Structure formats: structure tokens, C-alpha cells
Amino acid sequence: MKNVVALFFSPTGGTGKVVKSMARAFATATGCDYLEIDVTLPGTRDSAPEFGANDVVFFGVPVYIGRVPNLIRPFFASIKGNRAIAETVDETIDGGIDGAIGIPVVTYGNRSYDDALIELRDIMEENGFRTVAAAAFPAEHSFSTTLARGRPDEKDLLLAEEFAKKIAEILKNNPHYLCGDHTPIAVPGNPPPYTYYKAVISDNKSIDIRKVKPLTDISKCTGCGLCARLCPMGSINISDPSITDRICIKCGACIKKCPQGAKSITDHDYLEHKRLLEEEYGNVIKKAELFYTT
């Protein structure tokens, strides 16, 4: 192992905080070089990174409707770990033919991570990573400042560091995990086809908010263009930020990071769903869930 990589998609920042804490702690514990790859913005996804036997990759994404973000999924599925079959431990340790170690990490907004963690694990395994651990951390919901408010907090990030240190210890004491036969890390969730969470409002009525987009309060907007520069889909018009030209994934970046508070979603069903989520989960304190190879 020579490199540890913090690889993340993190529109509002929570996922990035968790994954960077993990990767930095792993680097400190092992002496590996620390690398950071942020694939949040469109320009960072022009080509997919590839990894190999010298790399340990902490890969983090937020949970959207119980799954890995579906519009970014094809890019995630193009990131290669390049696993082959090494015949000996020494072959892998010397930079041989086996693939990268992978640690899938998801963050979720206090309701549930549903099938997202097993989906991310499967994506990594299918693309040549050897998953040896996994984690799910609460993080402030993209819709809300009430759901998992302030998470990840200091305690979460300390736990993320301890998680990474334990992985470093496991790999040091069990070099056979680096090559040969491999069993993917066991995590909760359903095998394919993975299940989407169905948003509902009163009377258990299902709603579809895929076409809902943020609106702009022109009286507050200064036209700075920050929202357009932060949009992970490149959907906000840089010349006129009140226009959302393309699809919106409801990541919350433009709303939460606008210094003027000029962006909001006013759709009735969206707001009712948000209200019900906050009512049910607003006072719930969820704990991170950590999974290790045994």
C-alpha cells in the first residue's frame, strides 16, 4: 500500500468531511501518501480515475431516495479498481496485479440508508475493488436543516478516524486480504434490483418530485453565480441563475450555500413530504454503522 485516496461526491459537504477524516487518519496510521479526489462538479467527471494494488480508496456518496445518486451512478460504475488474481501475498505487496482496497461509505439524512450501501459496495466489487470494510454515517439532510442537524459533528469525525485506524490495523495483521480469494464486506440491504424509497405525504399518497426545481427570489439574488458554479449537474444558468436549464437532483447545494438565501423550493408536495420527515425523524439521533472484514 502506497496511497490512500479520499474519493467523494458531496454537494453539501457532509460526505466529504467523513471520507477525508477517514483517509487522513489511515494515511497517518500507515505512512501512505494522502490523495483527494472530489467528483462533485461536472468538470471533475470528464474522465474516471483508475486505481490498483498500491491504493486504498475510501469512496463516499450521499444517499438519495434510498440509493446511490442515480444520475451519477454511471460515472461511479466507471471508476476502476483493476482487481485481477495475484497468486501470492508478496506479489501484491510488491505492486503486483491485484486491485485496490475499497471502503464504501454512505451518508444519509437521519431516515435510512436503505439499499445505498450494498449498492455502492456492489459497484466497487464489480469494478475491481476488494471491499474490506464499509460505513454509513448520518449527515444533515439535503432537504432540511432539522434532519441530522450539524452532522457529521466532532464525535462523528473522531469515530470516522477510529474506523480508518482499525482498518489499517486489520490490513497490517491480515496481508492475505490484499490478494487471492476475496469475500465482499457484508452490509445490510437488498441484492439487485435495489429498492428506491417512495416519497409519500398525508394519507400515504405517493408523490413524484423528480421535476421539482428550486426557485430564485429575485429581490435577494445578486447574480453572483455561486449556485451555478456549485451545481453538481451544471443545471443552473451562469448568466441568469434564476433559470435551471436541466435536471435537478435536489442535492440542496444551491439552497444551503447561497449567501443571500435566495434559493428555495416551494412545491407543495415537496414541502409536505419534508414536513413529515422532520416530524418523524427530526428528534431522532442516529449512530454511524461500521462494518469490518472478520
The 10s digit of each residue's pLDDT in 276-286 is 999 999 999 99
Q: Report the CATH fold assignment for 3-195+284-292.
A: Rossmann fold (3.40.50)
User: pLDDT band at residue 111, thresholds of 50, 70 and 90?
Assistant: very high
Point out the least confidently predicted range of 24-38, 96-110, 144-158.
Answer: 96-110
From CA 28, how far away is CA 30, in angstroms rounded? Answer: 6
Q: Which pLDDT tens digit goes with each residue over 242-259?
A: 999 999 999 999 999 999
Predicted pLDDT at 179 = 76
Rounded Cα gap, residues 286 and 272, in angstroms: 23
CATH class of 204-281: alpha beta
> Which of these ranges, 51-60, 85-94, 192-201, 234-243, has the smallest mean pLDDT?
85-94
Give kind and range of the element (H or E) at residue 133.
Answer: strand 133-138
CATH 3.40.50.360 spans which residues of the chain? 3-195+284-292
Tell me what the mean pLDDT of segment 91-113 comes to: 80
Residue 75 sits at the vertex; the CA angle it makes with 71 and 79, to the nearest 5 degrees, is 150
**123-149 residues labelled b (16+ CB within 10 A) or e (exposed):** bbbebbbbbbbbbbbbbbbbbbebbbe
| DSSP H or E segment with residue 157 | helix 154-173
Residue 105 has pLDDT above 80, yes or no: yes
Percentage of residues in the chain having pLDDT higher than 70:
95
pTM of this structure: 0.94
Contact of 264 with 215, CB cutoff 8 Å: yes
Query: If you average pLDDT over every residue of the chain, what do you get?
Result: 94
What pLDDT score does 289 carry? 99
* Number of helices and strands in the chain (H, E): 8, 11
DSSP SS3 for 257: helix
What residue spans in the chain does CATH classification 3.30.70.20 cover? 204-281
pLDDT at 86: 45
φ/ψ bin of 213: left (φ > 0), alpha (ψ from -120 to 50), beta (otherwise)? beta
Compute and round to an integer the Cα radius of gyration of the chain.
20
Q: What is the mean pLDDT of residues 18-24?
A: 99
